[in-house]
Structure 1
């Protein structure tokens, strides 16, 4: 509609300019009549043209109004019956300018840089925290080890001070020797044997002979024990008065070897004799 109006106004302005120019020209009197006639005809034609253009414009306006009415009715039918028809004009999205995009890119890059720097700072902080933790753990271990070592040393010192080392008592020993007949000779040279309180001559003799692997034959037990043979040399092997005699500190025993106790430092001698009577004198 606006375009049509503009065109009509332009046409009318052109006609008016042309008509004004024709009036200014000097025309002879003979030709004035013809010019008047021509002006009237031209004016009539212009009026006809204006009328046709106005009719056409009105027709187009009526068509457009009909179209708008049909569109509005379709929109009202789609919407609720009570609501008024509202024509909403959508604003076309403005295209982003180059400057705005550049600004956005710079802001985004700056934000990304700040985020990365913050992440790096957090990572470094975490690593420093972990190193500090490991250092503290190592220090704690060292301190605990030192404390434990100090405690053990102090405990040892306390034990040493509280319980002085016991002096080992000298071992109680008895010297023993065994001499057989001419064939056997010395069965056991003088050797020291550890003794305990209450040990008898027979206890010491059997102990050393077992250690050396020398056989001994004993009858009876306790105070009635009697030694029959040593190293497979028995009584009566060299006559009816032959057998084993025993001395403690050089004195012949008048009792059984199982009844006489020994003391530390004593010497015991077993001797095989072929005659009790002669050795007893």
Structure 2
């Protein structure tokens, strides 16, 4: 007669065998992320520190954790099933020149192991694309070199990270100028889509050169009917509609192009409650 519990043990062993290949593949894709599979749930889990999704950029990223922001929505999606922590490292007013200087420090402050970082987004360029002579202006050739250096550095130092380059959203020049002038802050420094477009093309070239993912927020913005009113709060920064557009588009890209970095494709952080005995 079979000892009591032997059947359960056999089922558990069988489940473990069935997911062994999956776990090995995940170990290669997520160094240190997957430690086992739940006997009761059949779900892979990790005993390591929770993975990180890192958001890099300017104020469009810094403000993304506000109510209805794209970063906040992304954080909720990953936290809902305790897959990853979303870390916001957006710096208002920063250009690609400034961001390239601080990225090494930002990465260093994340702590070890760096394999925790599974996904990085980079959204910068709205401040670079001001008129020549403006305080924040960065020539497009330098912008491309700076962005390329940032991507190269991330790929070299974050072994498990997948990088997504995001082009800056379209800008409503008239609205932003009016907002700036009413606040006594000048005329918007010449921000306009004609000036911004070469920077978006440079960002696309960098993504292609480094073989990383690209989300063309600029083109997606312009393709949206009445985008000036639906997507922008002040002519430059995203409104609730703009944040929704970015969140949904980025989520779709991650799920289709980087499925093992999507909320549903990453392992649980620690086993489910009915698998805790496996620790």
TM-score (norm 2): 0.22
User: Which gives a bigger RCO, structure 1 or 2 (Cα 8 Å, sep 6+)?
Assistant: 2
Q: Higher Cα Rg: structure 1 or 2?
A: 1
TM-score (norm 1): 0.22
Larger relative helix fraction: 1
